[in-house]
Amino acid sequence: MSDTVLRPDAVAPEWADALYDVLVAQNIRQVAYVPDAGHSRLIARCEENPDMCATVLTTEEDGVALLAGAWLGGDRGVLLMQSSGVGNCVNMFTLIENCRLPLVAVITMRGEWGEFNPWQAQMGQATPDVLTRMGVQAHRVDDPDDAAPVLDAAIRQSFDGMLASAVLLSQRLIGRKAFTEEG
C-alpha cells in the first residue's frame, strides 16, 4: 500500500487490470460510471472492449436504474462510483431490494487516507453504514492482492443470490488525491 497521489498521467496499478479481468471472466457487459480518477484505468479498459457497453452517467442513481434494466434485458453489469455518490443512490437502492435484483457497485473511497477535501469526509465515513442499512453487502479492499478475489466474490454473490453488493476500494489502495495549483 502506498501514499500515492493520483495524477491523470500516473501509471495504472496492477489491481485495476485485475479488476477488469474479473469483469471479463464474469461476463459483465454493462458498465455504468460517473467519471472518477480512481476508476480511470478500469473505465478506459471497459471502453476499449467492444463486448462491453460503458455508459457515462451524470448521477449515480441513474446507474442503479440502468443496471436494473440491463439485468431484466439479459445483461450483467456493474456500477463504478465514488463514495460521495452513495448518498445519491439511497432511494434507488429500494428498487434493488424490493424487486430482488442483483447489483454490483465498485466504489472508490474518499474522505480517508490523507484526504485534502473536507467535503468528502462525512460521506466517506458514512458509506459502509449507508450501504448496509439499504441492504447492500459491503466488502472493503485495502490490499491490492485482495481486489480481484473480492470483486469476483461480490459478483457471484450478487448474481447467484439476487443480492446487492459493493466493493469498497480504500483511499489508501487507490492513492490519495491532492489539491495542487498544477492540476
**Sheet order of strands, 53-56 included:** 53-56, 28-33, 76-82, 103-108, 164-169, 136-141
pLDDT tens for 123-135 read 667 788 889 999 9
Structural domain boundaries in the chain: 14-174
pLDDT tens for 78-102 read 999 988 889 899 999 999 999 999 9
Q: Determine the topology of domain 14-174 in CATH.
A: Rossmann fold (3.40.50)
Nine-digit cell string for 36:
472518477
Is the Cβ–Cβ distance between 28 and 52 less than 8 Å? yes
Query: Residue type at 83?
Result: S
CA-only gyration radius of the chain, Å: 15
pLDDT tens for 137-152 read 999 999 999 999 999 9
